[in-house]
Amino acid sequence: MIDKKNDNFLMSFGKMPIANNFLHENDFSKEFFYEMKVGFNEEYSLFKLLEHPKPEQMFNSKYPFLTSSSNYMIQHFNNFYKFINKNYLHSINEKIIEIGCNDGTMLNFFENKSSCLGFEPSTNVAKIAEKKNLNIIPKFFSYDYPEAKKFLNDTKIIYAANVICHIPDLNSLIISIDKFLNKKGLFIFEEPYLGSMINKNSYDQIYDEHVYIFSISSIKKIFKKYNFDLIDVFPQSTHGGSMRYVIGREGEYEIEKNVEFYESKEIKDNINNFDGMLNFKKQCSSSKDKIIEQLETFKKNGKTISGYAATSKSTTVLNYCNIGTNLINCIYDTTPDKIGKFSPGMHIPIKDYKEFNNQYPDIVYLFAWNHKEEIFSKEKNFIRNGGQWFSHVKI
């Protein structure tokens, strides 16, 4: 049983709203806040939120994120599909489950739809996946649904991307995985990586949905508790640095050299223990001071500043650094559901990205720094017109 016994408090990012709760002005007074405290569990080398909202508060009929909103990510999931197909599948009839399939972007690449099943509790996005004729259970992942019966003990691959760190109850998660997988079954998932977060000081990876920021050290220990082996790992460039983990039943597969290679790097970099995290804590507070000072200097020099991409990550930066409309006049974004609303907590107006080139600001805070290639190539004219991109992460 993975428990909280050895959780150590690391730091607080202060009062935080729900990261994706973009809202109208008449809902400001009802806005929900919690204290975003983070800690480190010494027993599992696990970086985690110590307090977080209930999953139902975020994953419901109004979840605003669509996988298909980024062309780069569609391509990435096509490659992820090919990776699974080439390395781990022997027949199109082997059963496959995706946890958190969102709008069905990746599940739709698999050839035999009848052997695939997606779990997706955010019903608005689950409906989009269902329209693609995919087999979807519009609920939180669990083995305990009659609709999932034929997948029990008979699933070859369970996969997920950017979902497992959203699931607070790791015990129930692994019990369900155990019930679904057959003897040679594999659980393959990729998540934002602790090593990348520490390296880049991208503390904005921390928000309500990301209950955990995993590492090789933590995943190995967590799954060992349930008789699973971490058999391979593959670093990914997505979401500012992620890690793909491959898990098999204990003793069923050889453990690839990559596991030891990257694990020893974590030990050398001191990211597998609480003391190693104290430096990260210092970096967060100096990044905050620096960002505020730079934005205030731009303002004093008469520059206009806007934001680009109303990401969930921006909620952490804006609220932690207390940046509001005094510094950033608006944020441009592509998501229809966010446009015309205000950012959570700091209430910066969200505008349609199509209006960005009407009158360029002098400085633009790039909140989607992890999508910089896609955005820089789309917005070349901003630089040509003398504009300057800005971020707390090196871009």
Q: Would you tell me which residues interact with ligand TMP (CB under 6 A)?
A: 65, 69-70, 309-313, 333-335, 338, 353, 368, 371, 374-375, 378
Using rule CB under 6 A, residue 83 touches ligand SAH: no
The residue to which tokens 């985690």 are assigned? 48
Q: Which amino acid is at 211?
A: V
Q: Distance between CA atoms of 201 and 285, rounded to whole angstroms?
A: 10
> Which residue in the set 74, 152, 167, 292 belongs to the binding site for ligand SAH (CB under 6 A)?
167
Using rule CB under 6 A, residue 389 touches ligand SAH: no
CA-CA distances (angstroms) from residue 59 to 20, 65, 120, 138, 323? Answer: 10, 10, 9, 11, 27
Q: How far apart are the first and last CA of the chain?
A: 41
Q: Is 243 helix (H, G, I), strand (E, B) or coil?
A: strand
> Which residue in the set 40, 47, 59, 365 belongs to the binding site for ligand SAH (CB under 6 A)?
59
> Which residue in the set 22, 141, 187, 365 belongs to the binding site for ligand SAH (CB under 6 A)?
141
Q: Distance between CA atoms of 42 and 205, rounded to whole angstroms?
A: 21
Q: In what order do the strands lie in the sheet with 388-390?
A: 350-352, 331-333, 305-308, 363-366, 388-390
52 vs 166, which CB is nearer to ligand SAH?
A: 166
Q: How far is the CB of 353 from ligand TMP (least distance, A)?
A: 5
Using rule CB under 6 A, residue 36 touches ligand SAH: no
Segment near ligand SAH (CB under 6 A), from 39-47, 55-63, 196-204, 282-290? 55-63
Total site size for ligand SAH, rule CB under 6 A: 21
For residue 120, how many C-alpha atoms fall within 13 Å in the half-sphere facing its CB? 29
Using rule CB under 6 A, residue 162 touches ligand SAH: yes
> Which parts of 85-124 interact with ligand SAH (CB under 6 A)?
99-100, 102, 119-122
Report which residue's Cβ sits closest to ligand SAH. Answer: 100
Q: How far is the CB of 3 from ligand TMP (least distance, A)?
A: 30
Q: How far is the CB of 77 from ligand TMP (least distance, A)?
A: 14
Using rule CB under 6 A, residue 138 touches ligand SAH: no
The per-residue b/e assignment along 205-234, b for 16 or more CB within 10 angstroms, e otherwise, is: bbbbbbbbbbbbbbbbbbbeebebbbbbbb
Q: Which two tokens stand for residue 395?
A: 């871009």
Q: Which residues pair with 228 in a beta bridge?
A: 249
DSSP character string of 142-165: -S--GGGGGGTT-EEEEEEES-GG
Binds 140: which of ligand SAH, ligand TMP, none (CB < 5-8 Å by kind) = ligand SAH
187 vs 212, which CB is nearer to ligand TMP?
A: 212
Largest CA distance in the chain: 65
76 vs 220, which CB is nearer to ligand TMP?
A: 76
Q: Distance between CA atoms of 314 and 331, rounded to whole angstroms?
A: 10
222 vs 364, which CB is nearer to ligand TMP?
A: 364
Binds 335: which of ligand TMP, ligand SAH, none (CB < 5-8 Å by kind) = ligand TMP
Interface ranges with ligand SAH (CB under 6 A): 55, 59, 63, 65, 67, 73, 99-100, 102, 119-122, 125, 140-141, 161-163, 166-167
